[in-house]
Structure 1
Amino acid sequence: MALPNSLPPEFDRGVVTTVHQGDCHVSDAADLTYSTVLGSCISACVRDRVAQVGGMNHFLLAEQSGSARDRYGASARYGAFAMEQLINKVLTRGTGKKANLEIKVFGGGKINSALDDVGRKNIEFVRQFLLDEGYVATSEDLGGTYARRVLFKPYSGRAFVKRLDSEIGDNVAREEAAIAKRRIILPAPVDDIELF
C-alpha cells in the first residue's frame, strides 16, 4: 500500500532533471522525469503523443521594459518565447504535426501579495496564447494560493502535481519577489521562432 504523500510508481525511479525558471527541456527518454517547483510561474508540458517525445518549460511573466511590448501585452513576451520554443522543439523532435500535441499547463498561484497577482496574469496569458495558436490544454492545474511541485514524464505524458506546504511556498515567493525586484530583462532571441 502506497503512503498518502508518496509518488506514483512511475515517478519513483529513473533520471530526474530539474527545470529551472527560464529553462526548456525536451526528450524521448522513457526513464526521464522533469521536475519543477512553481509559485506564480507557469510550466507547460507539451508532448507529441505519436512520437512519444515531450518537454517542459518554466517561466515567470514579470513586467518588462516598454521595448518588450507585443500582441500579448507588456509582460508576456518572454512567456510567448518560452511557449513557442517548447512547442517548436517538440514538433522538430516529433512528427511535426500540431494535431499530435497534447499540452498540460500548471502554476499561476498567488503566493506573494507583493507581486500584484502575477499568477492570475500568467494564467490569462497562457490560456490566451493557447487559444490564439489553436491549441487546447488537455489538462491544467492553475491558480490557488499555494506553490506546487510538478513532475512530468515526457515519454508517456504522465504528470503528477503535489501542492506544497506553506514553508516551501514562502521560499518560492521570496525567490520570485527577488527576481521581480531586480527586473531581470532577458535578451531578445537572435532569430524569431515560428510555429509550424
Structure 2
Amino acid sequence: MALNTSLPPEFDRGVVTNVHQGDCHVSAASDVTFSTILGSCISACVRDRMALVGGMNHFLLAEQSGSARDRYGASARYGAFAMEQLINKVLTRGTGRKANLEIKLFGGGKINSVLDDVGAKNIEFVRQFLEDEGYVVTSEDLGGSYARRVLFKPYSGRAFVRRLDSDVGANVVRQELAIARRRVVMPASLADIELF
C-alpha cells in the first residue's frame, strides 16, 4: 500500500469497477481494479492468496444502540452483513479456507463533526467483528480527518490509497449525511447470516 499522488502503473490500466455504498464485488481477473471513495465509511478488501480471488465492500454504520443483543443496532447488522457477504463470496470462489484470506481495511475518517465520529464507531465495529470471527487484519489505513480514494487489485492483492482534498471530502460528507438521515434498516433475515 502506498500513499502517493500518482498511480502505480498496474492501477493505470485494465477494467475499473466502482464500489459504491452497499456494494460488494468479487473477481479473479488479473486486469480488474476495484475503486471506492470513503469518508467515515469502511471498505474491506478480502483476498484468497492461494486462489488469487478477492473483493471489496463499502458500508456505513449510521448509529449505535444500547441493545444487549447487538450493541451496534440494526445499521451495524448491515455492516456485519456486508462483511459476511464479502468473506463468503471470496471463500466460495476461492479455496474455502479461512486461513488463506488476507484482509485489508480502509476508511473510518472523521471528516465532519456533524456525523458524531461515525468513523471511529465503524473502525471499532469492523475490528471487533473480525476479531470475533477469528480473522487477522493484514494491513489498514483507518481514521484521520480526510476522505480517501482506495484502489484494490483483487488478483494481486495490491492496494493504493490517495488522500483527497477538502472539496471532495465535503461532497462525501453530504452523501454520508443523506444516508445517515435515512437510517435504512436491513431486514433481520439479511442480518442473520452465518460464516461457514
* TM range, smaller chain: over 0.9
Separation (CA, whole Å) in 1 of partners of 2:180 and 2:64? 9
Contact 2:65 2:71 in 1 (8 A): no
Residue in 1 aligned with 2:95?
Answer: 95
Give a deviation string over 1:19-58, Cα, whole Å, max 9, x none: 0000000010000000000000000000000000000000
Residue in 2 aligned with 1:42?
Answer: 42
Residue in 2 aligned with 1:165?
Answer: 165
Residue in 2 aligned with 1:129?
Answer: 129
Q: CA RMSD in A?
A: 1.8
Separation (CA, whole Å) in 2 of partners of 1:171 and 1:32? 26
SS in 1 for 2:139: strand
Are 1:187 and 2:187 matched, yes or no? yes
Runs of 5+ consecutive residues of structure 2 not aligned to the other structure: none
Residue in 2 aligned with 1:73?
Answer: 72
Alpha-carbon offset, residue 192 of structure 1: 4.1
Return the TM-score normalized by structure 1: 0.92
Residue in 2 aligned with 1:56?
Answer: 56
Relative to 1, partners in 2 of residues 1:191 and 1:145: Cα closer, same or farther, differing over 3 Å? closer
Residue in 2 aligned with 1:147?
Answer: 147
SS in 2 for 1:137: coil
- Aligned identity (percent) is 80
Separation (CA, whole Å) in 2 of partners of 1:70 and 1:61? 17
Separation (CA, whole Å) in 1 of partners of 2:115 and 2:6? 32
Separation (CA, whole Å) in 1 of partners of 2:192 and 2:20? 23
The total of aligned residue pairs comes to 192
Residue in 1 aligned with 2:22?
Answer: 22
Moved beyond 6 Å, runs of 4+: none
Separation (CA, whole Å) in 2 of partners of 1:189 and 1:172? 30
Contact 2:64 2:71 in 1 (8 A): no
Contact 2:26 2:54 in 1 (8 A): yes
Relative to 1, partners in 2 of residues 1:69 and 1:174: Cα closer, same or farther, differing over 3 Å? farther
Give a deviation string over 1:92-111, Cα, whole Å, max 9, x none: 00000000000000000001
SS in 2 for 1:36: strand
Return the TM-score normalized by structure 2: 0.92
SS in 2 for 1:50: coil
Counterpart residue type for residue 116 of structure 2:
D
Alpha-carbon offset, residue 189 of structure 1: 3.9
